Every structure is written in structure tokens, then in C-alpha cells.
Amino acid sequence: MLKFISNSLCRNKKRFILLLIGITIFSGVLIYLFGIKQGNTDVTGDLLPQKEQSSTIIEELTEEIIPLDEKNSASGISPGAIAVYNIDLALDEQDVFQISAEIDVTNESQDSWTDIGFYFIPNALTDANKPDFMEDGAETAISGITSDGEEIPFELVDNRLLLKLDAELKPDEMKKVKIDYTLKLPENGNRLSQVDDNYYLAQWYPMLGHYSDGWNIENYDSKGESYHTSYGSYEIDYQLPTEYLVASSATDGEIAPTASGTLAGDNIKDFYLALMDPDDWHTAASSVTNTALRVYIPSAGMDFTADMMAVTEDAFAFFEERIADHPAEELDVIANDGGMEYPNIIEVNSNPDDFEHTLIHEIAHQWFYYLVANDPYTDSWLDESITEWVASMYMVEEGYQDPFAFAARIAQTRPTAHLINLPLNEFEKGDYYSTIYGKTPLLLQEYFEANGGSDAAFDFLSAYVEQFRFDYVDTEKFAEFFVEQHGEDSREFLNSWLDLEKE
């Protein structure tokens, strides 16, 4: 930190000296004026004390030369772009979705843009692009992209959709774009999937990327999450050919079949939507504090909704008590064997004898991935490793047998990377899992066992979420905050498994 401050002062040396001279002169004038006004009983009550007033003025003046991110080392990372989504979605009798997405994109960067970048993951799952393990591909076609009725040229490669602008979009300006396309989900696909008469829409719409010296949109990588999206506001109108159970990232309300409706929500990273055949599901509803809980379990098997709900209630309440209150009005749990997290909704195992670990892990993601966000392509450990660690600590507290057994077992299945904050494409597939879900949770647990135990661990996590709620972090931000909380001696621990010298 001292080196950081020193560098900052050197960069602004001349301005800083001039500023000090100006402050000295100005402070003298203030003292003089204050001495005059002190004798005037009509205005004394409106004045700040001299020390407080001088400090306030100095802070206002120094704002000019100290950037916000340099003043607060633990501030989050700007996404550079934000979006408001208004989407019309209609499903026809041939299982094809007709989708029209109107998106208001605001430039929050310091650059003027000549293009706008989206993830369009359905294109990465077509027959031409899909991962080898997928038997069936998605079918999608963009029929038009417009703004104010004028066509916008675009490029679509893998999951990277770039809209070419005819005029620069300057900082703080907004551009409304409309993207019309069709989508047929792959049967038994990867996250985006149709299973019988159930439709799981994950990463199904054009998702605005992050902007920092260009659009940070990587190619699709199925071994992890390769998309880094911004918090956004959503309004989605849907029309269906028959009635379905609807579960989404919005607040859906009573569990009841419907053929049309509107879904809306704010501060959502990526919007998930499930349309489910009512005959295929056992359901249950409950609540914890201010959050409604809804559970869906396949009706073809045993009805263990009560067991799943009991764990859901306990885990959610535990994380709220030990880490932070969660703002979700509703959390949906779908036992479709997806094993995946989305804002306010998760997919978990359908096996009544083996569902708890995945359920607890995915619930914990509502804090680490959703409340505190990171780029899962470059820093996947920040959500996956922390989540697995948190889930295991919960199981310790609740008396589960061998709560870290999953992490220990997977850490031994393959070699692990020495430095764990690698981008997805630099991991071998097996090494990614052994490192992120195995080695790293064990490292974190070992550190806190020697430094205050579970109380210290949860105190740190609580402070971390409070600092970065609805914000973005990277490895360097995490390390800064960790050292701030645990002292300079902790830097040696971090350097033993994190590359903190990246550009």
C-alpha cells in the first residue's frame, strides 16, 4: 500500500505541490474570515468548526488529483457498460422460440465506442460449434438487428456478437438496440436445454459483456463459465402455447401453471427461465425470513420435496446469519441434475440419496457469484473455490460426516496447478476441477484453522460481501482486501498460490 501511495504521489508531484501551496493560502484566508464571523452571533450556528471545515475543503480539492479507485483500495471494478433488457418471448407448437430483445446499452467507460459487444451463447451450441459431448445442437438465426429502425451490421463468431456502430457512442451515452432471432433448444443440451416438454433457458439471450480497453468476450468454454456479464434490469413478456410452471431469476409468486405473463427484476447478472410441464414435477413452497423458497422435484421418482426443502431452509438461513442478508424475494430449486447456479434460482441433483452437497454448494453461490461477482473465465476460483469452501464449512457446523471429503477427493484425482488464478483456457480440463474445487478450498480452510477458526472465516466473508455487494472483484482486489483484514503477514500465504504480478 505504501508503494502504491508513493507511486501515486510521484505521478502527481507537480500538481500536488501546487495544490499544497493553494491550500495553505486558502486556509489562511479561511482562518481570517472565520475569526471575523466568529463574533457575529447571527451566523455562527451555520458554520462548521474550523478543523472540520478546513478538512472538508481540502478533501474536496484533493478529489481532483486522486482517482476514486486509488482513494479506496477495496472499491470494486467497473463493468464499463450496463444494460436494461426488454424481451418478448413466444414459444410455438414446433418448440421454436421467437424472441425480440430491446436493449438499452449505456457506455460507462472512459472510451468512445465504435461497436457494442454481446455474448450470444446459443450460437456456440449449434451443430457447427457445439462441444463434442453434446449430441444435439441448438438452432438459432438472427433475423435482424436495428436501432431507431435502421439496420446495424454485426459480426457473430462463436459466442461473440459485435454490433458495428455508424457513429461513436461516447461516455455516458445510451444506445437502444433491437435484436430479433429464433431459437430451438438442443435436446438434453448443456445448460441451455430441452428435456421432453421442459425448457431450460440458460444464457439464451444477447448478454452485454464487460468493457475495459475493448470488449472482454472470450470464446465459449464448456468446462466452466466463460461469460462475464453485468448486473442489469429486466422485463420479459412471454407467451406459451399451453400452460407451464414458470421458474426464473425474477419473483414468480405462487406455483401455478400459466401460459403468459411478465417477469421483471433488477440487479440480475444473467436471467434464467425454466418452463416446465406441470405433470412432471412435485413441488413445495416455504420461506426463510423475507425470501420465498420453491422446490421442484421430478414426479417420476420419489417425492422428497420435504427433505430438500428442509436443507434449503437451513442452509439459506445459515448463510444469511453468518455471512450477509440476501435481498432475494424468492429462491427456486429445480432438481433436474443441472448442478448450476443462476441469480435467485439453482439446478441441483434429483437423487434423494445424494442431493445435499450440490444443493448447499449452489445455494452458497447466491453470495459468491451473485452478490459478489467476478469474471469466471479469468478468476473462476473467486466464485467456485470460495463457494465450495463455504459449503464445506456449513457442513462442518451442521455435523455432516467428512464435510471436506469432496474437496479432498477431487484434489487427488488429477495434478493441481501451482498458481490457481489461471484463465479457463490455460487449465487442462481435469486439472481445472482438481485445482478449483479441490486444492483451493482446502488451502483456505487450512489457513483459517490456524488463524481464528470458523468464526474468523465467516467474519472475513461477511466483511467481504459487505464491501463488494453487487460489485465486481478480481484476484488482485481480493488479495488487497484479504491483507487489509489479516495484515501484511498474510501476503506470504497468498503469494504461495496466487499470481499477483499479472499485468
CA–CA dist 99, 117 (Å, integer):
19
Residue of 100, 306, 98, 342 lying closest to 200 (CA atoms): 342
Q: Which helix (H) or strand (E) holds 244?
A: strand 232-248
At 401 the pLDDT is: 95
Locate the domains of the chain by residue range: 2-71, 84-230, 378-495
Strand order in the sheet with 345-347: 281-288, 291-298, 330-334, 345-347, 340-342
- The 10 Å CB-count burial string (b at 16+, else e) for 183-221 is bbbbeebbbbbbbeebbbbbbbbbbbbbbeeebbbbebb
Q: Given its phi and psi angles, is residue 267 left (phi above 0), alpha (psi -120 to 50 degrees) or beta? A: left
At 428 the pLDDT is: 83
Regarding pTM above 0.75, the answer is yes
Q: Coil, helix or strand for 328?
A: coil
Burial of 23 (0-12, 13-18, 19+ CB in 10 A): middle
Answer yes or no: CATH 1.10.287 is held by domain 84-230: no
* CA distances, 481 to each of 322, 377, 472, 488 (Å): 19, 21, 13, 11
CA–CA dist 444, 446 (Å, integer):
5
CA–CA dist 448, 149 (Å, integer):
58
CA–CA dist 445, 434 (Å, integer):
16
At 501 the pLDDT is: 86
Residue type, 422: L
Radius of gyration of the chain (CA): 26
At 503 the pLDDT is: 60
3-class secondary structure per residue, 439-459 = HHHHHHHHHHHCCCHHHHHHH
Residue of 240, 259, 312, 262 lying closest to 283 (CA atoms): 312
pLDDT block averages, 10 residues each, the chain of length 503: 28 35 36 32 26 31 32 73 98 98 98 98 98 96 97 98 98 98 97 98 98 96 94 98 98 98 97 98 97 98 97 98 98 98 98 98 98 98 98 98 97 96 91 97 98 98 97 97 97 97 72
